[in-house]
Amino acid sequence: MGARTYSIGEAARESGVKVPTIRYYEEIGLLPRIARSDGNRRFYDRSDLRRLSFIRHARELGFEVEAIRTLLRLQDHPDESCDAADSIATARLADVELRIASLQLLRAELEKMIRQCASGRIGECRVIETLADSSHQQGRLIEP
């Protein structure tokens, strides 16, 4: 472990993770609690910054906190099989594929509404009519 020379603000700038988020990650155990200086300030080292960057990237890819926690644990044991990491990534990919399919349905529905409207009058507007139709199944399309 290197010298703890980065203040929380510097750690935030270096890692791309906001200060309140760093505190939150410490609170939930994704980042180890950092000992405080005599002046009650947190100081981080390069390994903390790498961990913060790892967490940020995993969050950008949509991994849930528990999946990230598991991936961090796995990262700490480089000689173990990567089956668990593969399984986590495969599950995330399945979520993404489901989301893509839902968005494709949403796109098709919007395209259909627009085509059917064809810039007529509001009284015959298919967009307004479709949105007002309560017979559509709720939850059929995933909200963005």
Q: Tell me, which fold does domain 6-80 have in CATH?
A: Multidrug-efflux Transporter Regulator; Chain: A; Domain 2 (1.10.1660)
How far apart, in whole angstroms, are the C-alpha atoms of residue 50 and residue 28? Answer: 18
Contact 84, 97 (CB under 8 A): no
Average pLDDT, the chain: 85
Please count the residues of the chain.
144
CA-nearest of 47, 42, 40, 62 to 15 is 47
Who contacts 118 (Cβ-Cβ below 8 Å, separation ≥6)? none
Instruction: Quick: pLDDT tens for 61-101.
Output: 999 999 999 999 999 888 988 999 999 999 999 999 999 99
State the pLDDT at residue 35.
76
pLDDT at 144 over 50: no
pTM of the model: 0.74
How far apart, in whole angstroms, are the C-alpha atoms of residue 25 and residue 31? Answer: 5
